[in-house]
Amino acid sequence: EKPSVIIVGAGVSGISAAVKLFENGIANLKIFEAEDRIGGRIHTVKFGDNFIDLGAQYCHGENVVYDTVKDLDLLEHAQLFSTPKMYYSNGSHLDNQLTQDLQKVVSSYDHDITRSKELSLGDAFLKKYNSTILEKYKNDPENFKLASDGLTFAHSTILMHEGAFHWSRPASGRHYKAVKGDQMMVWKQRGYDMILDVLLKRYPDPSLKIPIEEKLFLNKRVTKITWTGDKASVKLSDGTSHEADHVIFTPSVGVLTHDDLFEPVVPPRKQQAIKSMGFDGIIKLILYFPEKWWHDSDSTFFFLWDRKDLEGITKEFNEGPSKDGISWVSNLVALVKVPSNPHVLIGWVSGGLIPEMEKMSLDVVKKGSMFVIRKFLGRDYNVTEPGEVLWSDWHNNPNFRGTYSYEKNGYFEEEVHYQDHLAEPLTQGTTPVVLFAGEATHPTHYSTVHGAIESGRREADRIIALYP
């Protein structure tokens, strides 16, 4: 007899699990999703002349996402970061050997660093930075000053990649493995939510679509999962309870850390795995410019602050939070074009002020961002006023509490994949009762959409194998 399954969360891992179960004849399914939409950290919204992604945006290499859509002509190479322009806070365009060296060392920040349990990513990177850039320019005072200022840029950029609040938080070691191929493919139509349509077979031929609607319950927050007993019991915030033979749990590490969802609590080994994972966040700033001010040949702008300017900015702009006298605006590190949405620029914002920054009014966001953009680019460009502005709030949303997982400093060991520990099911006897999917349960592709898809399929397979 086929089992009943409850899936907690309709992000891409939950959807992938549901599709796989359904296609293998396990159709007694319920998916409970706390938000009013599917997709989770894939969140494509109508904006400007097209769509933009508030969450995942790039397909990193020829992974399972790529394989799923490769015959549909949906992805393209973005060429965004290949020709970035770096600007200094005095308004000058920096384009010399030093800035090239700097960009190279930052973009390959996790290569050739000392990896050890004792060393954070920040410390390991500093060692590398000291022995390369600072060493090279130590007898060249003007460039040495820029090279020292480059550290703030390096910090912000690394945080953006890691999704961490400070570079002392991630480990210097990592189990992440890049998949071969172009790391920065973008969606030609709409945005990353195209993958949901393809997975659910709503695209390209909607007559083949998987009837997920009957199984999907939106605005349903799970508040307790009781996993001892013949069946698992799932309680919702609306007061109802639901039983199933198996539960697949997909919410983020942030939710797992914050909410007390399991009765009884999960075993120590899993608690330790949760503790080993960092989950902080970044912010995406989305700006629409009715009148474009950048050149067609521009793709990405990087902002490098002069230390003196940084220390003085609150005198020029003092709205919104600051830390150690330095305003939040210093955390806007890059502006990037969106190929499919030509009047839009996306700003990348990182750092420890994110929880406070997410709460700022859009008015302050807009004023602060334009202050930075004009300060850096106003000399070379006639920067126009933006129209609509969006500002993501992943960290303060209780259904996410951050953006993507990283491996925390103090826990890293080459042979230990805490992601695998997190993925271990809660069992009754030998039967897996609660199974764990989601990006953070992938041993090498955590923090990505492709990792999330593989994890959902993996847990569906675990159930399918029990009912030959």
Ligand X SMILES: Cc1cc2nc3c(=O)[nH]c(=O)nc-3n(C[C@H](O)[C@H](O)[C@H](O)COP(=O)(O)OP(=O)(O)OC[C@H]3O[C@@H](n4cnc5c(N)ncnc54)[C@H](O)[C@@H]3O)c2cc1C
Residue 162 amino acid letter: E
The residues, ordered by sequence, that sit 6+ positions from 231 with a Cβ below 8 Å of its Cβ are: 4, 243, 244, 245, 433
Find out whether 17 is annotated in a ligand binding site.
no
Of 58-97, binders to ligand X (CB under 6 A) are 58, 60
The reply to whether 195 sits near ligand X by the rule CB under 6 A is no
13 annotated to a ligand binding site: yes
> Binding of ligand X at residue 254 (CB under 6 A)?
no
Q: One symbol per residue from 371 to 410: x for binding ligand X (CB under 6 A), - otherwise; what is it?
A: ---------------------x-x----xx--xx------
Q: Is 350 in the site for ligand X (CB under 6 A)?
A: no
Residue 349 near ligand X by CB under 6 A: no
DSSP one-letter string for 148-191: HHHHHHHHHHHHHHHT-SSTTSBBS-----PPSS-S-EEESSS-
Stretch of 77-85, 314-322, 357-365, 444-452 contacting ligand X, by CB under 6 A: 444-452
99 belongs to the binding site for ligand X (CB under 6 A)? no
Minimum distance, C-beta of residue 28 to ligand X, in the bound complex (Å):
19
- C-alpha 308, offset from chain centre: 32
The backbone torsions φ and ψ at residue 199, rounded to the nearest 5 degrees and listed phi first, read -60, -40
Which residues lie closer than 8 Å to 155 by C-beta, 6 or more apart? Answer: 122, 167
Using the minimum distance from each CB to ligand X, give the nearer residue, 124 or 345. Answer: 345
User: Do the Cβ atoms of 232 and 243 come closer than 8 Å?
Assistant: yes
Kindly indicate which of the ranges 50-58, 77-85, 300-308, 425-433 contains the residues binding ligand X, using the contact rule CB under 6 A: 50-58
Other C-beta atoms closer than 10 Å to the C-beta of 158 total 20
AA identity, residue 29: L
Alpha-carbon distance of 15 to 13, in angstroms, equals 5
Q: Is 8 in the site for ligand X (CB under 6 A)?
A: yes
Q: Is 457 in the site for ligand X (CB under 6 A)?
A: no
> Would the CA dihedral through 61, 280, 83, 177 be positive or negative?
negative
Among 448, 459, 460, 463, binds ligand X (CB under 6 A): 448
Q: 10 to 39, contacts with ligand X by CB under 6 A?
A: 10-14, 32-35
Is 34 annotated as contributing to ligand binding? Answer: yes
Positions in 284-313 near ligand X (CB under 6 A) = 284
Choose the stretch contacting ligand X; rule: CB under 6 A; options: 57-65, 90-98, 268-276, 416-424: 57-65
**Minimum distance, C-beta of residue 402 to ligand X, in the bound complex (Å):** 8
**CA dist list (Å): 425 to 201, 416, 430:** 29, 17, 10
Which residue lies nearer to ligand X by CB, 173 or 438? Answer: 438
| Closest to 282 in 3D by CA, of 409, 164, 449, 401 | 164
DSSP state letter for 134: I
Residue count of the chain: 468
Closest CB to ligand X among residues 67, 414: 67
Number of residues that bind ligand X (CB under 6 A): 39
Q: Is the bond preceding residue 264 a cis peptide, omega within 30 degrees? A: yes
> Smallest gap, in angstroms, from Cβ of residue 301 to ligand X?
19
Sequence-distant (≥ 6) Cβ neighbours of residue 200 within 8 angstroms = 15, 19, 209, 210, 212
Question: Does residue number 438 form part of the binding site for ligand X (CB under 6 A)?
Answer: yes
459 touching ligand X, by CB under 6 A = no
311 annotated as ligand-binding: no
Binding-site positions read: 13, 33-34, 222
Summarize as ranges the residues that interact with ligand X (CB under 6 A). 8-14, 32-35, 40-42, 55-58, 60, 221-222, 250-252, 255, 282, 284, 392, 394, 399-400, 403-404, 438-439, 447-449, 452
Binding-site positions for FAD read: 13, 33-34, 222
